[in-house]
Amino acid sequence: MITDRYRADTLTTMDDSDMATDEREGPDHPSLLRPSMFAVGWWVSVAGGLLLVGYAVAQTIPALPEADAAFWVIAGLLLLFEFSPVIIGSGYDSQGVATSDAFTFAVLYLYGPWPAIALISCATLVSELVKRKPPWKVPYNIGQFALSLGSAALVMGLWFRATDQPTPTLVEPLAALQPVDLTWMVAGWLTFFFVNNTLFSLLADPGRTFADDFFDDFAYYFFTTIAVLAVAPIVVFVSAEPAFMPLLLLPLYAVRKTASISREKEHQALHDSLTGLPNRKMILAELASRLDEARRLDTNVAFCLLDLDRFKEVNDTLGHQVGDRLLAVVAQRIEGALRPNDIVARLGGDEFAILLDPVRNSDAAVEVAHRVRQALTRPFHVEGMLFELEASVGVAVYPVHGQDVDPIVRRADVAMYLAKEERTGVEIYVADRDRNSASRLALLGGLRHALQNGELRVHYQPKVSLSSGNVVGVEALVRWHHPQRGLVMPDEFIPMAEHSGLMAPLTEHVIDESLAQVARWRTAGLEVPVAVNVSMRDLNGRDLLGVVASALERHDLPASLLVLELTERVLTRNSAEVTSTLNALRRLGVAASLDDFGTGYSSMVLLKKLPIAEIKIDRSFVSRLTADPGDVTIVRSIVDLAHGLGMTAVAEGVESEQVWELLQGLGCDAAQGWYISRPLDSDKATAWLRRLPSQQPALRVLRGGAEGADSTG
């Protein structure tokens, strides 16, 4: 952020936005702390400057009636251009170049230091009040400029004294300029610049040194200052005939117009034409700038990526004109949920970026992301139609998730896609869930090695009839005992396998090993069906049917001994390929079970159409049966729904006798959980099954089995 060297209007040590404590900033935030050097710069500039101003006003006012016409014309132009600085562009001084300085120095040369100091002080006072600048800034700006201009006046006075020339006054203005006068004028310009720059740099931000501020964009400020002050001698020459003075407006207007055209082109290059928001180029540049500042101030910066869910349906159905209008309203809604200092940008399509600076911590950033997402859930009224939208937001925070722009943006993107895939709405970056992180890549390599070298093992959790106590099957649960990391749970490596091309060989491995175990049990006289989990990627592929058929044939088993468990997400995808695969498996004789029912977005139409034989009630409802009557109602409804559709209802996560008895009363068909048994390896599962013959239903035997189960799983 570049500050105005000659009007300290955007000092980050004490800016407008810093005067109040934001909900995500504490009162001891670094941006609110003032270094000890601040007091030095403040008192020197204010006290010394205001003494000069007071003396200048006292000297000038009595002489004003004797001022000539040229003085009043120059004074009018000075005031005019004080209100109209030339703003070059966003990359530099946001306050603009003060062209009024040219007329201030013209007054200095023609009428001496006191009228010049008094005039610019009054102009600054009026300008600051009109712009509603904070009260503390007004005396500082006046004092700082008075000292800077006074130093240039001192150079001029020393020259005049050395050459025995009288100092100009309102009563006796300067008669004429000579070429030799350029010597002291240039010296005065340089003195003015260096004094002003020094006073400004005394108020360095926390984390910055005097040198950092003094040399920040030094060349830009130096040359723009000298260029403006070089106009002053021209004003002096024209003042000989005040009627020609307004002609100076033409070249100065041309400069302003050129700068305005340049800014318009820059704005177009850095902003989205549809929403008016910053575009990708601008937000990334601003992120780089904010990260630099955060390093100095030791603060946190959050970067969020937001993507609208299913927005393509709006464009496809209603056309891009309606979609564009909706995007413009979405942009306004996002801006309304943020602080003035935060930035939202449109990256393209229905994707937006949000820069939060500063934030207290990662939790605060996530809280803001939820607030933005909540703002977008309110209905949109566009073109006489009502729209309801949802968004997925990914959050990355400096310095926790990265030190530079590229890793911060990439990790916010990873978090956003995770939020979209998991339907959680908002996700913050977590390295362990990043498919491209170094640890994940190492784990992925280990998973490939585990598949090739037989390091994966299948454990089995029994499923028991609630009415008879008979074992009606087991669920196969894959376990990975990593050589270095120990037990790696499926929640960690299954998503990684889904996104890396390893899901198909992993599913094939589990099906083959599970059916091999079922064949061994069958040989031992234990007829136990096995349920194997398959993913959406397995169902969308063309190989699952072949894998299942080959494994059943290889182990000489009937298809009735295999059940494939699907996630409820299959009901959100009306995929012809999924339907075709499930129907082919049913024709083969393999049943399908719908896992974790009640946690997703089920379609009753698809539930009726798809060949589903069993619904497994999610453990989140089952575990609260004894504490929440609402969950009892939900479970009863799911059981009734399953029976109404000719399906079996199975409760997951049964962990107590009270829950077991409640499920019996609700008419649930079967149960699975730690009350019955934890997942067991093949040897222990075999021993457990032998202790509970299928023809000996008895709850006390189940209890004995649960007590004898080990905790591996």
User: Between residues 269 and 79, which one has the greater pLDDT?
Assistant: 79
Given a contact cutoff of 8 angstroms between Cβ atoms, the answer to whether 138 and 125 are in contact is yes
Tens-place pLDDT, residues 232-277: 888 888 887 767 767 676 666 666 666 566 666 665 677 888 888 8
Nearest to 660 by CA among 707, 622, 706: 622
Query: What count of other Cβ atoms lies within 10 Å of the Cβ of residue 462?
Result: 27
pLDDT at 568 (0 to 100): 64
pLDDT at 60 (0 to 100): 87
Tens-place pLDDT, residues 131-161: 777 777 788 888 888 888 999 999 999 999 9
pLDDT at 268 (0 to 100): 67
Q: Is 425 left (phi over 0), alpha (psi -120 to 50) or beta?
A: left
pLDDT at 31 (0 to 100): 37
CATH of domain 280-433: 3.30.70.270
User: Between residues 211 and 448, which one has the greater pLDDT?
Assistant: 448
Q: Flag the least confident range among 44-58, 63-77, 280-294, 687-701.
A: 687-701
Model pTM above 0.75: no
d(CA 517, CA 458): 9
What is the pLDDT confidence band of residue 97, given thresholds at 50, 70 and 90? low
CATH of domain 452-708: 3.20.20.450
Q: For residue 589, is pLDDT > 90?
A: yes
For residues 46-63, average pLDDT: 85
For residue 39, the number of C-alpha atoms closer than 13 Å in the C-beta half-sphere is 3
Structure tokens at 214: 């003094």
What is the pLDDT confidence band of residue 509, given thresholds at 50, 70 and 90? very high
Angle at 19 between CA 18 and CA 20, to 5 degrees: 90
Radius of gyration of the chain (CA): 38
For residues 380-387, average pLDDT: 79
End-to-end CA distance of the chain: 55
What is the pLDDT confidence band of residue 11, given thresholds at 50, 70 and 90? very low
Range among 55-59, 207-211, 697-701 rated most confident: 55-59
For residues 472-490, average pLDDT: 86
Residue 14, Cα to own-chain centre: how many angstroms? 26
In sequence order, what DSSP letters do the residues of 2-13 get, joined into one string?
---SSS--S-TT
For residues 83-109, average pLDDT: 70
Query: What count of other Cβ atoms lies within 10 Å of the Cβ of residue 560?
Result: 12
Q: For residue 20, is pLDDT > 80?
A: no
pLDDT at 263 (0 to 100): 60
d(CA 250, CA 256): 10
Percent of the chain with pLDDT over 70: 79
d(CA 598, CA 617): 7
For residues 525-554, average pLDDT: 87
For residue 134, the number of C-alpha atoms closer than 13 Å in the C-beta half-sphere is 14
pLDDT at 9 (0 to 100): 41
Query: What count of other Cβ atoms lies within 10 Å of the Cβ of residue 516?
Result: 15
Strand partners, 465: 670
pLDDT at 541 (0 to 100): 62
Tens-place pLDDT, residues 332-372: 999 988 988 899 999 888 889 999 988 888 999 999 999 99
Q: Flag the least confident range among 93-102, 416-425, 514-523.
A: 93-102
Cα 264 to Cα 276, 315, 374: the distances in Å are: 12, 30, 34
d(CA 653, CA 74): 86
pLDDT at 604 (0 to 100): 66
Q: For residue 16, is pLDDT > 60?
A: no
For residues 660-685, average pLDDT: 93
For residues 11-40, average pLDDT: 40
Tens-place pLDDT, residues 394-436: 999 999 888 899 889 989 988 988 888 778 889 999 877 776 6
d(CA 178, CA 269): 47
Given a contact cutoff of 8 angstroms between Cβ atoms, the answer to whether 626 and 658 are in contact is yes
User: Between residues 172 and 248, which one has the greater pLDDT?
Assistant: 172
Amino acid 79 reads L
* Residue showing tokens 């108020």: 203
Q: Flag the least confident range among 97-106, 486-495, 580-589.
A: 486-495
d(CA 116, CA 105): 7
Q: For residue 61, is pLDDT > 50?
A: yes
Tens-place pLDDT, residues 277-332: 888 888 999 999 899 888 888 889 999 999 888 777 676 667 778 888 888 899 99
For residues 541-556, average pLDDT: 88
Average pLDDT over the chain, rounded to an integer: 80
pLDDT at 189 (0 to 100): 92
Domain positions in the chain: 38-270, 280-433, 452-708
pLDDT at 10 (0 to 100): 37
Extended beta strands in 171-296, E state? none
For residues 658-676, average pLDDT: 93
d(CA 46, CA 209): 22
Structure tokens at 320: 């891009």
Nearest to 692 by CA among 459, 457, 458, 474: 474
User: Between residues 124 and 702, which one has the greater pLDDT?
Assistant: 124
pLDDT at 571 (0 to 100): 58
User: Between residues 310 and 701, which one has the greater pLDDT?
Assistant: 310
Q: For residue 449, is pLDDT > 90?
A: no
Strand partners, 527: none
Q: For residue 30, is pLDDT > 50?
A: no
For residues 609-626, average pLDDT: 87
Given a contact cutoff of 8 angstroms between Cβ atoms, the answer to whether 633 and 650 are in contact is no
Q: For residue 441, is pLDDT > 70?
A: no
d(CA 292, CA 159): 45
For residues 501-505, average pLDDT: 82
d(CA 25, CA 359): 6
Range among 163-167, 222-226, 435-439 rated most confident: 163-167
Q: For residue 109, is pLDDT > 90?
A: yes
pLDDT at 696 (0 to 100): 41
For residues 429-453, average pLDDT: 75
Structure tokens at 568: 């409820």
Query: What count of other Cβ atoms lies within 10 Å of the Cβ of residue 695?
Result: 7
pLDDT at 712 (0 to 100): 34
Structure tokens at 630: 């609402």
pLDDT at 542 (0 to 100): 61
pLDDT at 706 (0 to 100): 37
